[in-house]
Amino acid sequence: MIGLTPRRIDFPTLCETIEKRLCDLGHLVPNQFPMTQREVVRSNKVVGVYFCVHGPRSVKLTAICDFTKKQVIFYGSDGIRRESMPVAVQAPAAIAV
């Protein structure tokens, strides 16, 4: 039996991965458009992070990193769920917004 151990990635690497994937979904060049991030709070606990790449002509591509389900959900500019990606992360103590 083969056992897999999830690899932990740090928050800056997670941000870069999400930005690259969102830019791929929107056919944008990475690092050319601003990306904002906000904490998702439930019952005074950080349960995730909301990411948004602000592209040209008010195009917004979003992703939500859900720490409880340990996955990132990507949404297109039309708001429709495009894909999800499993990720092994721990909730950061404080997120620079």
Pairing of strands 71-75, 35-42: unpaired
Residue 61 in domain: yes
Domains in the chain, number: 1
Confidence grade of residue 4 (pLDDT, cut at 50, 70, 90): very low
Q: What is the SS3 assignment for 57?
A: helix
pTM above 0.75, yes or no: yes
Q: Which amino acid is at 82?
A: R
**Which range of residues forms the domain containing residue 49?**
11-86
Tokens representing 56 are 């040209």
Which tens digits make up the pLDDT trace of 29-72?
A: 999 999 999 999 999 999 999 999 999 988 999 999 998 899 99
pLDDT band at 11, cuts 50/70/90? confident
- How many angstroms separate the CA atoms of 46 and 80, rounded? 24
Residue pair 65/19 in contact by the 8 Å Cβ criterion: no
| pLDDT (0 to 100) of residue 38 | 95
User: Is the pLDDT confidence value at 92 over 60?
Assistant: no
- Is residue 4 one of the residues assigned to a domain? no
The answer to whether residue 93 sits within a structural domain is: no
